[in-house]
Structure 1
Amino acid sequence: MTSNGGTKWIKGALIGAGSFGKVYLGMDATNGLLMAVKQVELPTGSAPNEERKKSMLSALEREIDLLRDLQHPNIVQYLYSSVDDAYLNIFLEYVPGGSVTALLRSYGAFEEPLVKNFVRQILQGLNYLHEREIIHRDIKGANILVDNKGGIKISDFGISKKVDGNLLTGKRVNRPSLQGSVFWMAPEVVKQTAHTRKADIWSVGCLVVEMLTGEHPWAQLTQMQAIFKIGQSAKPSIPSDISADAQDVLRKTFELDHEARPGAGELLQHAWLALKKSSSSNKNALKTVAVPTIEISA
């Protein structure tokens, strides 16, 4: 664990809650740097609590081990951590705009061009993670932060995992319990038959629906009803008032066969998301036009 216990910081307002703990705005008392501080209260006292404390610390150290090596513009930057008898603090880059969920609450559903912009950035961040064998496992609006220039940052790696054999095959040995947010969950995760990188892609599709409509899929259902529905291989409804390309992306993300579901890199090449190159005619139009010199005799 990277520790910076000597650094003094000032605790500010509660700005959110993530897996395991609450998130506060913090300020470095030496240089004034604003940070997001994920603070986890550790159990104290009895022997069972000591075991819980060890288990929590172990899980948090796994999160830190994942975060510390990640360097990407679309992933929240880990700074350092500290631990004492009562709390473990994880110091992270502060993203001032808040989460996609908070923005939807404030401004309503997003227009398609904005969704496209955000999805492109999310997939770039996910592609970086997946290339490093990391599955996020909890992609949803609350875990996608937006800075004050519209830049996207993927956050909350509390239940993220490095890919291993058991995760990929879905064997009962050491298989994870049902973790994540049900409404964004892929069918193979609900059924616990597999949990690969492609589960994140299904969740991205659910996030697209969330951004376009202002509500996550299955919003009218309870969590238990949603688990049953998704477990029966039901797909979220695709909005009818969006472009054909956007609908096609959603159809691909909601592919029931996770092996046939496209990866993040493949989706970035889709017509809806690929950045258009300037045509040769546009390039010619931008060429400097020579202006003849007119001589004026005295």
Structure 2
Amino acid sequence: MDIIRETSYYATQLEMNTLENQAERQLSFANTWLKFVRKKKSTTIISKYPTTLPMWLLPGIHFLRYVCSLHFTNYINDELFNTFYENMQQTINYLHNPNVNNEYKPLTPNTRPRKLSRSFQMSSSRKNPYNKLQKKKFKLTKIEELERMDRKIDRQRFKDGLIGKIKPSNEVSNKIPSISKRMEQDLACLKIRNFHKLNLLSRGQFATTYKCTVEPNEVLCYKQYKIQHNDAAAIAKVLEQLVPLMHIGHENLIKYRGIALEHDHILFFMEYCSHGTIAQILFGTPSLLSSHVDIRRQSNSLVCSLNDTASVDKGIIQTTAGFAFFEEFLVQHYLKQLLSALSCLHEKEIIHRDIRNVNIFFKDATKQSIKLGDVNFVYDFKFMKKQSSLLDMEAIANIRESIVFYAPETITQNETTTKSDIWSLGCTLVHMLTGRIPWSNPSIASSAYYWKVINWVANGIQPTIPTDLSLSNECINFLEQCFRNDPSLRPSSQELLQHPFIKEN
């Protein structure tokens, strides 16, 4: 078949005089083939089923279809055409009725069909010797019956005007939000065009973070999300939050620097902090820890030694279990900076949605100042909506590190507000004070356990406040206000900045 196609294609590319010769040769060979078919058929044993054609005949049928195309028939004279047409009709009739002597009258030039390929197809159907009663004997398969039913339904729907026609729509769609000219100008200015990817920093369920350099030799990092091209509404909503975020210049917030599109990924560039996170200290990263004894927490599992180090290191206590926790004065010091950054976001109606110690970065090696980063503004992408279903055990396994920071309304109503950030802030404080993530159980790490955690939070059970650690009353009251089940009763970030636990610092 490939040879036949290539021959036909080659014939159509030739000059006029050569094309005529090629057409005559093709039809001459076709006449020879048709005579061979009649001779071969006469010596072939008739099959039990007369409609069955031998396998050797099929390539010839395909060849005749190509020869019958206008690429050849337009360039031959009427005499040669009539000879070929008569030969072909005799062969078709002979195949259907080998015992009947079929004679065919030559065609005149006025009756010559120019589109022979259709005549070739129609002739085979007209000369079919089987009547309707014989056709009923052949049963259709289930697939053929379904296809036949689909064609019947499509014909009726086309007749009713339901399919196959383009109808103008007068409805104005408001689903895809338009991007203002101001935002388009901002995006043009903030687009990162020349950057060089360095090394991988982290890989999450939805995003991958890389270190990179941009001109002129500035070190940044970017988060790479895979996007869907048809999700224009979600991308527009992300840009609505991203552009204002890039104009924020708070000292305790990671600065977002730009955006880029790369194939089917969207990249968000931000300031790179190379001094680690609070979570690295709490989880026991050796290079960031100093060993201390906490007199208040002497137990079999907390046996430490005391060393004189910098002032901030005095508030970091490492345990023999491998994790660390903070003294209350150090928690106050970090909390004030966190609330300042959080109130700046909330004033611009930006919800962080992922307040955890893994997203709190140190500004320098002294560990005195921190920056809050990794604002979750991609929550409306279609691939992020997997998180909205907390009934899937596999989904819980993928997000169990962050699920313990979810507020009750996020679980029960799938609703996140600025007050949800306050709940997550309280969970972050418990992690700082105890060295353990709320609800975590070192001996149980299964998805079934975190399924229980979801039900506890949904049923109004609050994270345990460590009242046995000789915490101040102001600290306990601060946590109690963060863990109010009704979000309307939780204080705002601005109100918490005036709390006695923060003011006394």
- TM score, norm. by length of structure 1: 0.75
Count of aligned positions: 255
Partner of 1:272: helix, strand, or coil? helix
Quick one: distance in 1 between partners of 2:236 and 2:336?
A: 33
CA contact (8 A) 2:203 2:209 kept: yes
Pair 1:4-2:191 in alignment: yes
Select the structure that is richer in strand.
1
Pair 1:116-2:336 in alignment: no
- Larger CA deviation: 140-149 vs 264-273: 140-149
Residue 249 of structure 1 aligns with which residue?
Answer: 478
Quick one: distance in 2 between partners of 1:137 and 1:5?
A: 26
Quick one: distance in 1 between partners of 2:237 and 2:277?
A: 24
CA drift of 1:10 comes to 2.5
CA drift of 1:205 comes to 0.5
* Aligned residue type for 1:27: T
Residue 230 of structure 2 aligns with which residue?
Answer: 51
Quick one: distance in 2 between partners of 1:136 and 1:17?
A: 20
Identity of counterpart residues, as a percentage? 30
CA drift of 1:4 comes to 3.2
CA drift of 1:261 comes to 1.3
CA drift of 1:103 comes to 2.3
Q: 2:372 aligns with which of 154, 162, 169?
A: 154
Pair 1:139-2:382 in alignment: no
Extract unaligned runs of 5+ from structure 1: 43-48, 163-175, 277-298
List aligned pairs for 1:42-121, cutoff 5 A: 42=227, 50-51=229-230, 54=232, 57-58=235-236, 60-62=238-240, 64-105=242-283, 106=285, 107=289, 108-121=324-337
Partner of 2:453: helix, strand, or coil? helix
Kindly tell me: are residues 18 and 273 of structure 1, through their superposed partners in 2, closer, same or farther at Cα, counting changes over 3 Å?
farther
Kindly tell me: are residues 4 and 98 of structure 1, through their superposed partners in 2, closer, same or farther at Cα, counting changes over 3 Å?
same
Over alpha carbons, which structure has the higher Rg? 2
Quick one: distance in 2 between partners of 1:25 and 1:112?
A: 34
CA contact (8 A) 1:115 1:211 kept: yes
CA drift of 1:97 comes to 2.0
Instruction: String of CA shifts for 1:90-128, please: whole Å, max 9, x gaps.
Output: 210111222222221224212222111111111111111
Instruction: String of CA shifts for 1:228-282, please: whole Å, max 9, x gaps.
Output: 0100100111112122221111111112222121111111112211156xxxxxx
* Aligned residue type for 1:26: C
Kindly tell me: are residues 40 and 94 of structure 1, through their superposed partners in 2, closer, same or farther at Cα, counting changes over 3 Å?
same
Kindly tell me: are residues 145 and 18 of structure 1, through their superposed partners in 2, closer, same or farther at Cα, counting changes over 3 Å?
farther
Kindly tell me: are residues 262 and 178 of structure 1, through their superposed partners in 2, closer, same or farther at Cα, counting changes over 3 Å?
farther
Pair 1:238-2:465 in alignment: yes
Residue 394 of structure 2 aligns with which residue?
Answer: none
Quick one: distance in 1 between partners of 2:453 and 2:485?
A: 16
CA contact (8 A) 1:19 1:156 kept: no
Instruction: String of CA shifts for 1:120-168, please: whole Å, max 9, x gaps.
Output: 1111111111111122122111222222143222212234789xxxxxx
Q: 2:345 aligns with which of 111, 129, 133?
A: 129
- TM score, norm. by length of structure 2: 0.46
Residue 201 of structure 1 aligns with which residue?
Answer: 422
Residue 264 of structure 1 aligns with which residue?
Answer: 493
Pair 1:184-2:362 in alignment: no
CA contact (8 A) 2:238 2:377 kept: no
- Larger CA deviation: 126-135 vs 140-149: 140-149
CA drift of 1:41 comes to 4.0
CA drift of 1:40 comes to 2.7
CA contact (8 A) 1:187 1:233 kept: yes
CA contact (8 A) 2:229 2:264 kept: no
CA contact (8 A) 1:252 1:261 kept: yes
Residue 34 of structure 1 aligns with which residue?
Answer: 219
Quick one: distance in 2 between partners of 1:19 and 1:236?
A: 26
* Aligned residue type for 1:234: I
- Larger CA deviation: 148-157 vs 136-145: 148-157
Select the structure that is richer in helix.
2
Kindly tell me: are residues 84 and 196 of structure 1, through their superposed partners in 2, closer, same or farther at Cα, counting changes over 3 Å?
closer
List aligned pairs for 1:273-292, cutoff 5 A: 273-274=502-503
CA contact (8 A) 2:238 2:378 kept: no
Residue 16 of structure 2 aligns with which residue?
Answer: none
Residue 283 of structure 1 aligns with which residue?
Answer: none
- Larger CA deviation: 105-114 vs 58-67: 58-67
CA drift of 1:177 comes to 3.0
Kindly tell me: are residues 188 and 93 of structure 1, through their superposed partners in 2, closer, same or farther at Cα, counting changes over 3 Å?
same
Instruction: String of CA shifts for 1:42-71, please: whole Å, max 9, x gaps.
Output: 5xxxxxx6436x577456535523522322
Kindly tell me: are residues 140 and 223 of structure 1, through their superposed partners in 2, closer, same or farther at Cα, counting changes over 3 Å?
same
